[in-house]
Amino acid sequence: MTVTSDERNTLRELAKKQCEIASLPVMKEREKLWYDINDGKTTHPVVLMEFHGIESEVFPELTCSDPLLRNIERQFTQNIYKHEFFKDDRVIPPFVKLTITDTFLPFGWEPEIIKAKNADNDDHLAFGYKHVIADLEDDFHMIKPSTFNVDTGLVQSNKIKGIIEDIVGDIMPVKLEFPSFFFTMPHPLCRMMGMENMFLALYDYPELFHKAMRQLTDDYHKYINALEAGYAILPNNDVSEVFWNSIGYTNDLPGSEDISGSVKVSDVWAYTNSQETIGMSASMYDEFFFSYMEEISERCGLLAYGCCEPVHGIWDLCLSRLSNLRKLSISPWCDEDAIAERIRGTKICYQRKPSSNFIGVADVFDEDAFLAHIGKSVKAARGCPLEVLFRDICSVRGEPNRLGRAVELTREAFQRWYQG
């Protein structure tokens, strides 16, 4: 691999800047906030801002050409930018993060992604999958064993680590990261056959559907066994990412100093969701999906659940059974008061994901309406560990300052309405 002098200089200067930020006293203060939140305390809420739109709309332009170096440049650049302009509660680490190179391909099927085009015929953020199952009975031969790659002994990951260490290792360490163990049950079949066909298959071929879910569950067990046997898991009770975009500091999972031998999935954060199933009853969700998800979740350490789906309708029958649930996504479509009443007094974090419309859709950022929106969430979450996580913002309408201002207003809502 060839690294140009310009690429090397760019990464080294960015590394120095991130080191300066990471050494600020406020980072230790934020660590304490995250430990409290993730350990189930209601000391003080936290706020994180993430932007998932076109990078050039917010972040500085990248200059490295090699994909690996470009990803490291993106990590440095965005850490620095987010600290300076978002001013949220993120902890900027004094090291480079490299994600371990493990992969899992459900049913052994590599999806063909169809990207939408914008007015200039460039790839849009929107995309879809080319479905390969029209009828589950006729096309069940497409349901093959899942395939996975385990970086046994972290050999491949350490090779990549060595490349980056050669560039910035004298400035800051390079650390391998095992983010949350990710698993999902409905998404693989949904992307193979589409949501309508998937829902019809539940009615037309319930036995075949259970057969597919049993196979997928068994495949996840095999993957977990291979990860553990291959010494391919690392503790993530620190600044490691908890999907999606949260932070993992906790005293309720072991660190590397507490573990001898192989790290188990029961030692780390895990994440799952079920956005594709919001059109079915809780009992049907339980029968065809959740019972299998529960089986895998029982092997995990702490669990984060949910993305954009409302969770209040499946709490009583399903989610309440998850003894290791620690972060629960409260999306814009969730009944906030109802779910807060159910988790108040537990250690489960009320992870509120506000509507992105105020920032990403409105022509004018209506601060009063936004504050009222956040205030409603803060009031509902009183007595719960509260994390406000902004995600799925795909545009800032030409005003990047909306992101930092939203953080300021969220903190104002904390001061006015939150009671630990």
The pLDDT tens digits of the residues spanning 287-311 come to 999 999 999 999 999 999 999 999 9
Task: Specify the pLDDT at position 21.
Answer: 98
Task: Specify the pLDDT at position 117.
Answer: 74
Do 381 and 401 touch, CB atoms closer than 8 A? Answer: no
Residue 290 and residue 318: Cα distance in Å, rounded?
7
Asked if the model's pLDDT at residue 120 lies above 70, the reply is no
- Rounded to an integer, the average pLDDT of 242-246 is 94
pTM of the model: 0.95
Coil, helix or strand at residue 148: strand
Looking at beta carbons, which pairs linking 336-341 to residues 24 or more positions away fall under 8 Å? 336/376, 336/377, 336/380, 336/381, 337/380, 338/312, 339/311, 339/312, 339/315, 340/380, 340/381, 340/382, 340/383, 340/384
Give me the chain's average pLDDT, please: 96
- Rounded to an integer, the average pLDDT of 235-249 is 96
Residue 8 and residue 22: Cα distance in Å, rounded?
21
Task: Specify the pLDDT at position 134.
Answer: 96
CATH number of 5-417: 3.20.20.210
Residue 87 and residue 240: Cα distance in Å, rounded?
19
Coil, helix or strand at residue 110: coil
Residue 11 and residue 72: Cα distance in Å, rounded?
8
Asked if the model's pLDDT at residue 123 lies above 80, the reply is no
DSSP state of 56: G
Length of the chain in terms of residues written: 420
Task: Specify the pLDDT at position 119.
Answer: 63
Omega of the bond leading into 244 within 30 degrees of 0 (cis): yes
Task: Specify the pLDDT at position 115.
Answer: 84
In order, the DSSP letters of 182-218 are: E--SHHHHHHHH-HHHHHHHHHH-HHHHHHHHHHHHH
Pairing of strands 325-330, 349-352: parallel
- Rounded to an integer, the average pLDDT of 163-172 is 98
Do 370 and 31 touch, CB atoms closer than 8 A? Answer: no
Query: Can you tell me which residue has the tokens 């999902």?
Result: 184
Residue 5 and residue 62: Cα distance in Å, rounded?
15
Task: Specify the pLDDT at position 116.
Answer: 81
Other beta carbons within 10 Å of 368: 8
Dihedral (C-alpha) 80, 81, 85, 90: value to the nearest 10 degrees? -50
- Rounded to an integer, the average pLDDT of 229-241 is 97
Pairing of strands 246-247, 123-129: unpaired
